[in-house]
Structure 1
Amino acid sequence: METRAHHILIGTFAILAFLLGLGFVLWLSKSSADREFRDFDVVFTEAVTGLSKGGLVQYNGIKVGEVTQLKLAPDDPRKVIARIRLEGDTPVKVDTEAKLGLLGVTGTAFIQLSGGSPSSKLLLPTEEHPVPVIHASESALSKLLSSGEDIVTSVNQSLLRVGQLLSKENVDHVSATLQHIDDVASTVAEQRGDLAKALAQLADASSELKSTLGTLNRMANTTSELIDDDVRKVMQSTDKAISAIERVAGSAEQMLDQNQAAIANFSDQGLRQVGPTLSELRETLRSFRQLSDQLGSSNTLLLGRDQPKEFTPK
């Protein structure tokens, strides 16, 4: 009787445990079924390499859903439509943006949602689009993949040029150049003593040249002072001579003017004798006047003095 009672208790416990487990599973299923989801279509105009069904969907880095379907657009095979299922409380707005991203270093692609200002309206179904549409922007991943071929080509060209630069002929030239530099350095090291002597002699020569230049400078200054004094003395003597010549010329012209009537009464013979003399005198005076003007101009240029005014007889 005891054995039979134990079996009944064990069976009853097993049945209760099974019923409890079944109820828990049904509760989980019901809660999942009662949970609200919303579907959206994300339209890509680029390749979605790495994205697959069941892929992750994030909103500002937070998981909000998954990819349920991938297909090409019926009207344009260049476009890819990814249907995503998001949690019902996800705030998808009319200005929400979508783009393709990479998850870590695994290379797995996912859809990243961002944007949506607080003042924007929610993106809801319409008669034209029962499933709301989000247009994706071009991602950095797509740009990288599209430019990958150009990058590979550039890398190949760079490697080819490096290979040409490191050719055997260039390596031999570089080795020869280094050897020449080594030979020159060795020669310079051997001639260190001569170089030191040459530098010392050059320093002495520089000192002597500096002394000679100083002496020449002093001589030039002395010569300039002497020339300046002599020129001033000559110019002063010239000024005196010019003044005397002007006085003589003025006196002669006054004398001629005062005796002009008496000279006119001379006889024809007297005029013939005096006339040439007067002409020569006037020519002499004119020559003195020209010499005076020339000396006056030279005096003004050399000494910076004012040019004497021309004498005008009264």
Structure 2
Amino acid sequence: MARKFSNEAKLGLLAIVTLTVLIWGYRFLKGKNLLDNSNTYYITYSDVGGLNTSAPVFINGFQVGSVTAVKLKPDDVEKINVTIEVDGEIELPKTTTAVLASSSIMGGKSILLEYGNADMQNGILENKSYIDGTTQGLLGSMVDVNEVDVYFDKLKNGFSGLIDTITQSSPNAEESIMQSIEEFQTTIKNLSGISNKINIMLAKSASNFDETLSNVASLSETLKNSNAKIAGIIDNLDVVTTDLKNAEISKTVGAAEGAITEVKTSLTTIQGTVKSAEEAIANINQLISKVENGDGSLSALINDKALYNNLESTSQNLDLLLQDFRLNPKRYVNVSVFGKKDKEYVVPEDDPAEKIKDSKN
């Protein structure tokens, strides 16, 4: 039992130490030190210029504390409450002023507590008291006001001595200085005239500039109203590219090559057919040439006029025979049952054979 209790005590002590270290480390990162006795003071500013927690608090360049909180004032959002903690051994008079200043050109902020020895007679600030706050510009943070006055005094005295030296060394120095001043004034007038001309040019160009701005605004409005169409075009391009990506182009090319091969085969067959047709036409031309030249039976049949006349005469005689058979059948077929005598054939008045004879005569 004693061993078990000892382990639990060790675990509890370790947990307490760990928690204490975590709390101390967290507050240390925020600018607080649990091991030091410190006093808390409150300051109100209208603009903190980017002041952060953990910013240093100085007295005559010596750090005596840090900023622990920066929050908006609950009842007035135009004011900001700043909480600082100062070493408890340092006593601040009631007339202390907290000056918010820039600690570097990079923009870091710090608080300067300003007071004098005479202020200590006005009473000491108690813990959690309010301090009056003021703000100092970047130039004021970098250079003291008294130092600026000294610099200007030295510059003025040096410039006056320089003018006196120039005047004493050259008898015409004063005249040269006055001439330089007049030339400088002339230069100022010329610059003024140039600025006036620039103003006139800008005034004349104002309408064109306004029109340009109007056109730009119209273009932007058109683009804004065409967002849906542009999006549709982009979607269509996406669909087309996707289809091209997914399309089996290799198979399509293979099929096209197969079709081209079949077309080539068909063209070869057609060429053979055309060649055969050309040979047949050549044979027909040869046959026609023989007929025209009188070679062969067909040529004799076509070119022999006597044969043509005989055929025509035979056709006419056959036609007459058929007509006569139709008009006088008894002349060719005579059947007598009782032994009657045949009638003598009489040539009809409109005998076709006579008409043919008359037409030939």
Which bracket does the TM-score occupy, shorter chain normalised? 0.3 to 0.5
Instruction: Pick the structure with greater CA Rg.
Output: 2
What is the TM-score normalised by the length of structure 2? 0.29
What is the TM-score normalised by the length of structure 1? 0.34
Q: Which has the higher contact order (CA 8 A, sep 6+)?
A: 1
